[in-house]
Structure 1
Amino acid sequence: MTAEPLAFHRRVAQEKRAAIIEAATRLFLERGYDGTSLARVAETADVSKSTLFKQFPTKSALFEAIVTTYWDLGEGMTAQPAAGDLRAGLGAIGRQYAELLDRPGMASLFRIVIAELPRFPELGRVQFRLGKMPYFESVQRYLEAESAAGTASVDDSETAANQFLGMISNYVLWPRMLLVDWNPGTVAIQGAVDQAVVTMLARYSAATSN
């Protein structure tokens, strides 16, 4: 098979995968995780059951794919900022995190997990392990690198990462769990990130500590 047909088949497979993930997310939210069958997902996504089972043999595998898709930073966005400029690095990380949380469907993903957690605690573990933790750990590593470079004074990188990401998520994401009309614009979100950066600099900048 030549390169052109291979590229075509790969593109079609990616489109079907995206359709399956979109359909599953919507159905999980509408019907619950337990109330959604893979057969119904295939029907809603307009793919054959064999196509769905080839990519996602179980419902748990499908949910894991949903989590990793929504938390995927995309090519070119996964690099950790270089240490040396705490303000710029925190600003880049904060904007990236706000963009992640503001993605269409991210709030829905959290709602699915919260609604089904009593019956399916593994959904929470998957969201934590595949979604939250990899990003959280990357922020920890960045803060530790800044501390090692002498631009930050961070004794507890876990607490510092929690504080920074928490300030952003408390504005961008969590109000959406209760307020259906919560939809801050780009300027407001950037303002929240900027304020989080200012707070972190006041607490952890080596220049402030000295």
Structure 2
Amino acid sequence: MSRVVPTYHQRVAQEKRALIVTAATALFLELGYDRTSLARIAERSGVSRATLFKQFPTKAALFDAIVTEAWSTAEEEDPPPAGNVADGLGVLGRRYAALLGRTRMTDLFRIVIAELPRFPELAQAQFVHGKMPYFESVRSYLLAERAAGTVRIDDVDLAATQFLGMISNYVFWPTLLVPGWEVSAERVAEVVDEAVRTTAARYATPGPSTQD
């Protein structure tokens, strides 16, 4: 896939955007969403208020950007092709585990959980701009596999939820809730592989795609 090389001004804008997002995330954790002003974020990030307001006119827009970037994957990561459900789910599972392993992802969930009673819209933003797009990518992949005849799935939404849940319940939620909890890269790989095997055993039609 060809990639467009950003101009100097685009690179500067991207760098400032990254500074703003990093500063905002830290301040939301330190002070809470309500007590963090855009002016304070501009000061912490070292950019002018005009620059910050140009990119993020409201605090809600900034939080949406934090969510979107926390869940973003590299541009070259196209959906895996249908035809081998074990291989395809392996790709999606490893991507999901990598997303959940980001420090910013843990920070994001902590912000949402802490502010949920007063700002339920933050949870909505996390769901709409974050979790749901990735869930949809898994759902679309399973639909493609069903169309190719490699799986038999009546409820694709449930199957996608099951697959992602097997991964997040081991590699993410304990890390978020239990101080000092760590999962090694080797263990993460084992968890993903087991989620793939379990899903394939449940839904794959007999054929090469079900073989180890």
- Provide the secondary structure at the position in 1 that maps to 2:103: coil
> Is 1:105 paired with 2:88?
no
C-alpha distance in structure 1 between counterparts of 2:55 and 2:22, whole Å: 14
Q: Which stretch of the first structure deviates more once superposed, 178-187 or 22-31?
A: 178-187
- Cα distance in 2 for partners of 1:159, 1:184 equals 26
The alignment's C-alpha RMSD in Å is 1.4
Q: Structure 1 stretch 182-191 or stretch 12-21: which is displaced more? A: 182-191
Percent pairwise identity: 60
Check if 1:136 corresponds to 2:139: no
Structure 1 distance, partners of 2:201, 2:72, is 31
Uncovered stretches (5+) of structure 2, i.e. residues with no partner: 1-5
Partner secondary structure for residue 190 of structure 2: helix
Residues 181-200 of structure 1: CA distance to partner in whole angstroms, max 9, x if unpaired? 12212111111000101110
Q: Deviations over 1:68-106 (max 9, x none)?
A: 1111112101x2111110110010010010011111211
1:152 Cα deviation after fit: 0.6
The number of aligned residues is 203
Q: Which amino acid aligns with 1:50?
A: A
Residues 1:199 and 2:203 are matched in the alignment: no
Q: Secondary structure at the match of 2:181?
A: coil
User: How does 1:121-132 map onto structure 2 within 5 Å?
Assistant: 121-132=120-131
Match of residue 3 from structure 1: none
Are 1:146 and 2:140 counterparts?
Answer: no
Point out 4+ residue stretches in structure 1 off by more than 2 angstroms.
Answer: none
Letter in 2 for 1:147: R
Q: Calculate the TM-score normalised by the size of structure 1.
A: 0.93
CA distance in 1, matches of 2:85, 2:8: 44
1: CA distance between counterparts of 2:141 and 2:11? 35
Q: CA deviation at 1:13?
A: 1.0
What is the letter of the counterpart of residue 7 of structure 1? T
1:189 and 2:193 are equivalent in the alignment: no
Q: Superposition pairs for residues 13-52 of structure 1, below 5 Å?
A: 13-52=13-52
Amino acid at match of 2:34: D
The residue type equivalent to 2:25 in the other structure is T
TM-score scaled by length of structure 2:
0.93
Give 1:157 shift. 0.3
Alpha-carbon shift at residue 158 of structure 1 (Å): 0.3
In the alignment, structure 1 segments of 5+ residues that lack a partner are 1-5
1:147 & 1:109 partners in 2: Cα distance? 34
Secondary structure (helix, strand or coil) at the match of 2:206 reads helix
- Give distance in 2, aligned partners of 1:7 and 1:194: 41
User: Partners of 1:146 and 1:54 in 2: how far apart?
Assistant: 43
Which residue type is aligned with residue 11 of structure 1?
A: R
